[in-house]
Amino acid sequence: MKRVILTPNPYRDKDFQTVRTAMGILRDAGVETKVCLPFDVDKSFELPKDIRFHRLDREIHNAELVICFGGDGTILHMAKTATRKNVPILGVNSGTLGFMAELESTELNLLAKLAKDEYTLDKRMMIDVVVQRDRDIIFHDIGLNDVVITKGAVARIAYLQVKCDGVEAMQCGGDGVIIATPTGSTAYSLSAGGPIVEPEARNILITPICAHDVMSRCIVASDKRTITVELVQNARRNAYLSVDGGKSLRLNMGDVVTVKKSNLETKLIRLKERSFYDVVNMKFKKI
């Protein structure tokens, strides 16, 4: 591996110290690096003058790997861009939990293994999300973790009907519903009472959020299923949809949310030999 993009989260890596260290290790190993910001920063934020920042949309075409510095949110944000270009990702945790990150900031010396191609690829299932309003598709996105449909901040109940392949699987009233991948099983879905699922599994999880119906439970569906969600009744006649914690979309009565397995897969680089359960035990001890 010779061409690598580094995408630091400027709000988490103070003065870009972690990125500077990584650049030095990779340069010494013979790897070319380009630093690109994963998102636009506030105009008032002062970037260091001694680091040259490149445009991500230009550099990613020739990159062999994107290294994300930050928390899980930074990795999720980059996953869409990198996956669409078939470029793998390696996460370096400079956030809090960092469940998806491969390395901690104290393990940067392992980056030298990239120059010798001493790594493995971990393929992660993604979901495809479409919102249809009448005959028009008003939203289309892919997600690595989940799609969340909620009532918003107002203290009321969202009544949702969930179908699998056109057959009703759940009708619940509560705060909403989460449709997650196995990767997303350890995120919001877990907090809402969903199970932990190995990333290599091929399932879609349907987890109600604070359901008022005691019979509403998480459903573990096959990845071959097409899942639809509709508002069946609502006092204010709207709810909100978000994919991987991104910008929310307001849903109206009659909108149909369709979720299915994406044809794309996120590729995560692994430099360490460890079990998924080692990661679970290590990360959850931080909480």
Catalytic residues: 72
Tokens of residue 176, six digits: 């909403």
d(CA 113, CA 111): 5
| First-to-last C-alpha distance (Å) of the chain | 35
Angle at 252 between CA 251 and CA 257, to 5 degrees: 55
SS3 at position 109: helix
Give yes or no for a contact between 20 and 36, defined as CB atoms under 8 angstroms apart. no
Q: Are 186 and 207 in contact (CB under 8 A)?
A: no
Contact call for residues 94 and 118 (beta carbons, < 8 A): no
Specify whether the CB–CB gap between 281 and 133 falls below 8 A.
no
CA dihedral 182→185→189→194, nearest 10 degrees, is 100
Q: Any idea how long the chain is?
A: 287
Distance CA 134, CA 207 (A): 26
CB 149 within 8 A of CB 176: yes
The encoded tokens of residue 85 equal 């270009």
Number of Cβ atoms within 10 Å of the Cβ of 33: 19
